[in-house]
Amino acid sequence: MKKFWCLFFMFWPIIGLIACAISPSMNWGFPYGLPAGSPLGERIDGLYYMILALVLIVFTGTQIGLGYVLWRGSEETDERAWYTHGSHSLEVIWSIVPAGILLFIALYQMDVWAEYRIQDNKNFPNQLETTVAEVTARQFEWRIRYPAPDRKFATRADLVTWLRNPQSDDLYSVNDIRVPAGKKVTIHLRTEDVQHSFFVPVLRIKQDAVPGKVIPVWFEATRADQYELLCAELCGWGHYKMKARVWAQSQEEYDAYLKQLQHDQFDDGVSSAENDED
Ligand SMILES: [Cu+2]
């Protein structure tokens, strides 16, 4: 009977390993089984796989150890058990090894983190050139404010002024963020009410929107495609429906979209008729 329990307890980790082995072909890993849609996303996936490999090694090792102990314990023998409680060397080993692994992860991920979040890092995009919109989360939608297509931010003060004071030529949309594909873009994230979270799974972007703060979020969508944007912070009864899309388009399509938006928003049907007569 002891052997049965030994095999029973070893059966489940083996099932777990088999599930891990087939998971890539079953698309159980990343969202929708899609690879990262941005260069930074690929590096974040690299970190994820590195940690997964470490976990796999540790898990396999400890399960083999556990299996061995269970198997030996299930044997009928006169041999006396070996007690390790209070073993100084074992305590040192299992403190130093995990500490070393954690230190390695902490150092190894610093570059990616710096590129993602540290504003004076050389890879962090210049917000004056890359700002495409301000995104305001609110219960339960995403409101987008674009600067007029010809507006340029020459200085930091220009950008701050624009962020603080909506302008009469700004363009608006809801739940539909357009960006040029293949370029670094920055949006400025804020919230009108409670805390929300700007989450674009395929681009591996997640940033909380915090009341009272305007937070720059940058990303680069490699493929021209539509990406699902979700709220990842339980923000009220309608949290589930706080879905939108980020649509990366070619530069021409993007420019045309903004032109169209401008036309839809400002054309009153009268002034353009006058223009036609000119
Ligand atoms: Cu929300």
Rg of the chain taking only CA atoms, in angstroms: 27
Same domain, yes or no: 132 and 65: no
Lowest mean pLDDT among 69-78, 134-143, 160-169: 69-78
**How confident is the model over 123-146, as a mean pLDDT?**
92
Domain membership flag for residue 122: no
Q: Give 73 Cα–ligand 1 centroid separation in angstroms.
A: 53
Confidence band for 28, pLDDT divided at 50, 70 and 90: confident
Q: pLDDT higher for 158 or 23?
A: 158
Domain end residue (candidates: 117, 136, 171): 117
**Mean pLDDT taken over the chain:** 89
pLDDT value at 33 more than 70? no
Ion ligand 1 nearby residues (CB, 5 A) = 196, 231, 235, 242
Q: What is the pLDDT of residue 32?
A: 64
* Other Cβ atoms closer than 10 A to 271: 10
CA of 204 to the centre of ligand 1 (A): 18
Q: At 86, is the secondary structure helix, strand, or coil? A: coil
1 CA from centroid of ligand 1 (Å): 53
- Six-digit token pair at 268? 């009153």
In a shared domain, residues 58 and 167: no
Pick the range with the lowest mean pLDDT from 31-35, 137-141, 193-197, 233-237. Answer: 31-35
Q: Above 70 in pLDDT, residue 276?
A: no
Strand order in the sheet with 171-174: 171-174, 141-146, 131-138, 185-191, 215-219
| Both structure tokens of 150 | 């010809």
**What token pair was written down for 40?**
């930074």
Is the pLDDT at 274 greater than 70, yes or no?
Answer: no
Here the CATH number for the domain that contains residue 218 is 2.60.40.420
In a domain, 46, yes or no: yes
Q: Which pLDDT value is given to residue 272?
A: 58
Q: Where are the beta strands (DSSP E) in the chain?
A: 131-138, 141-146, 171-174, 176-180, 185-191, 196-200, 205-209, 215-219, 226-231, 244-249
Q: Summarize the confidence of residues 53-71 as an average pLDDT.
A: 90
State whether 136 and 109 are in the same domain. Answer: no
The answer on pLDDT for 153 being more than 80 is yes
Predicted confidence (pLDDT) at residue 24 exceeds the cutoff of 80: no
Task: Determine, yes or no, domain membership for 202.
Answer: yes
**Predicted local distance difference test score (pLDDT) of residue 87:** 87
Pick the range with the lowest mean pLDDT from 79-83, 166-170, 208-212.
79-83
How far is ligand 1, taken at its centre, from the CA of residue 237, in Å?
A: 9
Q: pLDDT confidence of 275, banded at 50, 70, 90?
A: low
Alpha carbon of 163 to ligand 1 centroid (Å): 21
Mean per-residue pLDDT, 30-38: 76
Query: Do residues 262 and 131 both lie within one domain?
Result: yes
Residue at 271 is within a domain: no
Sign of the dihedral defined by the CA atoms of residues 26, 207, 247, 38, in that order: negative
Ligand 1 centroid distance, CA of 141 (Å)? 7
99 with 227, same domain?
Answer: no
* Domain shared by 104 and 135, yes or no: no
- Residue 182 and residue 112 in one domain: no
Which residues fall within 8 angstroms of residue 251, CB to CB, at 6 or more apart? 180, 183
Mean pLDDT confidence for 8-26: 85
Q: Is residue 80 part of a domain?
A: no
pLDDT above 60: residue 273: no
29 pLDDT higher than 80: no
Assess if residue 83 is contained within a domain: no
- Using one digit for the tens of pLDDT, what is the confidence trace for 161-172? 999 999 999 999
Q: Which residues pair with 145 in a beta bridge?
A: 134, 172
Structural domain contains residue 85: no
Domain span at residue 157 reads: 127-266
Please tell me whether residues 144 and 43 are part of one structural domain: no
Residue 125: predicted pLDDT:
86
**Hunting for tokens 């008729």 — which residue is that?**
273
Gap from CA of 175 to ligand 1 centroid (Å): 12
Whether 13 contacts 59, CB under 8 Å: yes
144 shares its domain with 64: no
Residues 36 and 94 grouped into a single domain: yes
Q: For residue 266, is the peptide bond before it cis, meaning its omega torsion is within 30 degrees of 0?
A: no
Q: Report the number of distinct structural domains present in the chain.
A: 2
Does the residue 113 lie in any domain?
Answer: yes
Residue 3 has pLDDT above 90, yes or no: no
- Asked if residue 156 and residue 27 are part of one domain, the reply reads no
Phi-psi region of 203 (alpha: psi -120 to 50; beta: other; left: phi over 0): alpha
Q: How far is the CA of 241 from the centre of ligand 1 (A)?
A: 9
Cα–Cα dist 255/24, whole Å? 38
Q: What is the arithmetic mean of pLDDT over 227-255?
A: 94
170 and 68 in a single domain? The answer is no
DSSP per-residue codes, 186-212: EEEEEESSS-EEEEEGGGTEEEEE-TT
Q: Rounded to the nearest whole angstrom, what is the distance from the C-alpha of residue 190 to the centroid of ligand 1?
A: 12
